[in-house]
Structures are given as structure tokens and as C-alpha cells.
Amino acid sequence: MWSWVAHRITGVTLFFFLFAHVIDTSMVRVSPEAYNTAVETYKNPIVGIMEVGLVAAFLFHGLNGIRVILVDFWSKGPRFQKQMTYGVLGIWVVLMIPFVIRHLSNVFGGGH
Amino acid sequence: MSAPAIQAPRSRPAKASNFELNTWLFMRASGVLLLVLVFGHLFVNLMLGKGIHAIDFAFVAGKWANPFWQVWDLAMLWLAELHGMNGLRTIINDYATKQQTRFWLKTLLYFSAFIVLVLGTLVIFTFDPCIDPSSTLEVCRVK
């Protein structure tokens, strides 16, 4: 139930981000300056933290999607759906840790 | 006493559509591909090198000089937009109960998907790295 709710919320979040992301990337067709100004926004610390949220949303949505596929197509899927939810959360944590360390040290550690 | 009459089995309507089955399958197939495509996109752009600080016009120019990344990004754009569009269509069908609301939300949804797909595709195919006068790419120096 809750993973179903979270799947919808993360999905909608990613869809709206995709819209913004295609618009900002399209600035490469305007001029190098326009694009560089647009991506500069992503290097702001507050936006940097929001990016952690986006990656968290993507990883959950993708891993939970695999779980949904296994429930649908694997004969033992429905029986192990609960264990697979713990698996999704476990892999999510394992992938988030290196990303958060790397990304936040890039965002806050300068590197300009 | 007569035996109860057993009705003939219902047959499938002649013009039954497989649309919902096909979109259901598409969500699963595109989902698996997107997991790989988006994971690779995030890993290369945010984890390698200087991460997000390396991203600027020259970074994009360097990537799209390679047809591999053009195809990667084009596949990611189309699959993600169609996957997300179908996901939102499902959500509108579930929560918007008034016929008018459903119609306008879906019109807006398909319009935005059209804009994103056309704009994104044009950007990938018409990208010109040489609009940057300081470009060090070989294609720009020849001219």
C-alpha cells in the first residue's frame, strides 16, 4: 500500500522534473552563456539538496518498479512481495549512501 | 421439470482494443530500460570527475560529439516522456471524476508531452557545438 503511494508520488515528481530538465537543457541551442546560466542554478546548495531528493525518488521508483514487475511476472512474486519491499529499501540505502557523500561534497565543497 | 437454461458463452466484442494491455506492457519494458539509461546518465554526470561542477556547455558539447550519447539521450527522452505521460494518464483516470476535468487535464498532458518530445528531439539533432567561439573541439577548428 505505502510503496504504491510512494511509487505514484515519486513518479509524478520525476515527470515534472523531466519537463523542467528538457527546457533547461534546450538552452544549449540558444547560447553557451544561456545554458551555463541555467545549469548554474543546479549548483546552488539548496537546489543541490533537492537533487538528492530527485535521485532518491528515481532510485525508489526504479527499484520498486522492478519489484512490481517481479510480482506480475514471477510465479513466486506475490508470495515474496513483502520481502522484496525490504530488498528495495535495502538496495536504495546502499545506493544512496555513496551518492549523497559524493554529491553533497561536490555541491558544498566548491570545486569551481 | 426442465433443466435450467445455460446461456451461450459471451464472445469478445469484435472491435475490442488491446490498448490498455499494450500500455501496461510498455510501462514494464520501458521501465527496465529507463532504470539502466537514467542510472548511467546520473553516474556519468554526477558521480564521475568533478560531478555537477563539470557540467557546462563544453561538457554537453563533448558528450554529444559522440553518437553513442546522442542515441542514449534520445532513447532516454522518448522512453521517459512516454512512460511518464502514461503514468499521469493513469493518475488522471483514477482521481479526476468529472468528464470535463479529465478532458482538460489530458489535453494539457498530451500538449506538454508533445512540446517536450519535439523540443528535446530537435535540440539533440540540431545541436551546434561551434556556437561557442572558444570551443576546442576538432570539428569547430576546421572551419
- In chain B, how many domains are there? 1
ipTM: 0.91
Task: Kindly state whether residue B65 falls inside one of the protein's structural domains.
Answer: yes
pLDDT of residue B88 exceeding 80: yes
- Collapsing DSSP to helix, strand or coil, A109 comes out as coil
Whole-number percent of chain B with pLDDT over 90: 63
* Mean pLDDT of chain B, nearest integer: 90
CB contact burial A27-40 (16+ within 10 A = b; e otherwise)? bbbeebeebbebbe
State the residue range of the domain holding B127. 19-142
pLDDT of residue B139: 74
- Candidates A25, A64, A112, partner chain B, best to mutate (most B CBs within 10 A): A25
Task: Kindly state whether residue B11 falls inside one of the protein's structural domains.
Answer: no
Question: pTM to 2 decimals?
Answer: 0.88
pLDDT of residue A110: 62
Give whole-number Cα distances, A26 to A19, A38, B14, B38, in Å.
11, 10, 46, 18
Query: Among A12-16, B100-104, B119-123, B131-135, where is mean pLDDT lowest?
Result: B131-135
Task: Kindly state whether residue B55 falls inside one of the protein's structural domains.
Answer: yes
What is the distance in angstroms between the Cα of A3 and the nearest Cα belonging to chain B?
15
Enumerate chain A positions whose Cβ falls within 8 A of a Cβ in B: 8, 11-12, 14-15, 18-19, 22-23, 25-26, 28-29, 31-32, 35-36, 39, 42-43, 48, 51, 55, 58, 62, 65-66, 68-69, 72-73, 98-99, 102-103, 106-107, 110-112
pLDDT tens digits for chain A (112 residues)?
799 999 999 999 999 999 999 999 999 999 889 999 999 999 889 999 999 999 999 999 999 999 999 999 999 988 898 999 999 999 999 999 999 999 999 888 865 5
Q: Is B49 left (phi over 0), alpha (psi -120 to 50) or beta?
A: left
The pLDDT tens digits for B17-54 are 899 999 999 999 999 999 999 999 999 999 888 888 88
**B108 vs B140: which has the higher pLDDT:** B108
Which residue of A8, A25, A42 is in closest CB contact with B123?
A25
pLDDT of residue A61: 97
Nearest to A40 by CA among A100, A109, A107: A107
- Work out the number of other CB atoms within 10 angstroms of the CB of residue B83: 24
Give the pLDDT band (50/70/90) at residue B131. confident
Which residue of B50, B81, B127 is in closest CB contact with A106?
B50
pLDDT of residue A91: 97
- The residue-averaged pLDDT of B115-137 equals 88
- The residue-averaged pLDDT of B11-20 equals 83
Nearest to A21 by CA among B120, B88, B75, B41: B120
Task: Kindly state whether residue B10 falls inside one of the protein's structural domains.
Answer: no
DSSP state of A74: S
Task: Kindly state whether residue B42 falls inside one of the protein's structural domains.
Answer: yes
**A73 vs B8: which has the higher pLDDT:** A73
**B135 vs A108: which has the higher pLDDT:** A108
pLDDT of residue B142: 63
* Whole-number Å distance between alpha carbons of B27 and B31: 6
Task: Kindly state whether residue B9 falls inside one of the protein's structural domains.
Answer: no
C-beta of residue A63 within 8 angstroms of C-beta of residue A88? yes
pLDDT of residue B143 exceeding 60: no
- Candidates B123, B135, B136, partner chain A, best to mutate (most A CBs within 10 A): B123
What is the domain-level CATH number for residue B60?
Answer: 1.20.1300.10
In chain A, count H helices and then E strands.
Answer: 4, 0
- The residue-averaged pLDDT of B104-115 equals 97
Enumerate chain B positions whose Cβ falls within 8 A of a Cβ in A: 28, 31-32, 34-35, 38-39, 42, 46-47, 50-53, 55-58, 60-61, 77, 80-81, 84-85, 87-88, 91, 112, 116, 119-120, 122-123, 126-128, 131-132
pLDDT of residue A111: 53
Task: Kindly state whether residue B114 falls inside one of the protein's structural domains.
Answer: yes
Task: Kindly state whether residue B130 falls inside one of the protein's structural domains.
Answer: yes
